[in-house]
Amino acid sequence: MRRRQGRHRGRPAGGPRHDDTRPGYPLTMTSSGEWVRVITITTDHAAESRLVSMGINPGALLHVISSSSRGPIVVARDETRFGIDRKTAWHVRVVPASPDAAHRAYPMLCDDNCRGCSYRTEMMRAEYGESVTLDGLKPGETGRVIAVRGRERTVERLMKMGFVKDSPVTMVGRIRERNTTEVEVDGSRIEVEGWDALHVILEVRR
């Protein structure tokens, strides 16, 4: 019987080779019970939009509930579970959520522009003390802006929205269908996109 080409450890036919050098690894190669952080999505725009609407976007922390050689990959984000077909899951690239493991495997990801890398969170705390990014605030919790990190264009946009040093920020809630975070800044309510929320660093007393 002729063997079908193009399959390796859960890779769909026609997918990239096993020696793929892009950072991270496909969600299909995770194990049940593993915690991972999404770093990029490489599928077409329509499929990416569906994933983002589910809350599966770069920076998202996922708990792999079920991962087998057949059937969908079941993951959880916060308290919501999703089933992702294997073809789509192959295009969701992740890194281990453990800070030490992520840094050892993918140190090139841990820079000022990293979105959601858990090791960068440890670096941030080393520099700013006990702090969280905007997406780490709990509903009703208030923090004080101590820094806005990222590329110049990103920093300028966020500062124009009111995220300037020492400004109080209160978490209102998350709007999952739009993948945004609603917060109150100096008395005004605004929505912040998921990626942008990772660049605002807050001091929170808990």
| pLDDT tens digits, 148-193 | 877 788 888 899 999 999 999 999 988 877 768 899 998 899 998 8
CB atoms within 10 A of CB 9: 10
Amino acid code (one letter) for 131? S
Give the neighbor-by-neighbor strand order of the sheet with 200-203: 131-133, 200-203, 142-148, 168-175, 180-185, 188-193
Distance from C-alpha of 150 to C-alpha of 40, rounded to nearest angstrom? 17
Distance from C-alpha of 2 to C-alpha of 92, rounded to nearest angstrom? 30
The CATH label, of 2.30.30.90, 3.90.1150.10, 3.40.50.300, 3.30.930.10, for the domain at 25-102 is: 2.30.30.90
Phi then psi dihedrals of residue 171, to 5 deg? -75, 125
**Do the beta carbons of residue 185 and residue 167 sit within 8 Å?**
yes
Pick 82 or 22 by higher pLDDT.
82
Give per-residue pLDDT as tens, 141-152. 999 999 887 778
Q: Do domains 25-102 and 130-203 have the same CATH topology?
A: yes
Cross-strand pairs, 36: 62, 96
pLDDT score recorded for residue 70? 79
Distance from C-alpha of 182 to C-alpha of 102, rounded to nearest angstrom? 29
What percentage of the chain has pLDDT greater than the value 70? 69
Structure tokens at 160: 């124009």
Amino acid code (one letter) for 5? Q
Longest dimension (CA), the chain: 69
pLDDT score recorded for residue 183? 94
Distance from C-alpha of 113 to C-alpha of 107, rounded to nearest angstrom? 13
Does an H or E element contain 95, and which? strand 92-96
**Do you know the residue count of the chain?**
206
Pair type for strands 180-185 and 188-193: antiparallel
Cα first-last separation, the chain: 63
Give per-residue pLDDT as tens, 24-36. 889 999 888 788 8
The CATH label, of 2.30.30.90, 3.40.50.2300, 3.40.50.620, 3.30.450.20, for the domain at 130-203 is: 2.30.30.90
Domain ranges of the chain: 25-102, 130-203
DSSP reduced 3-state for 8: coil
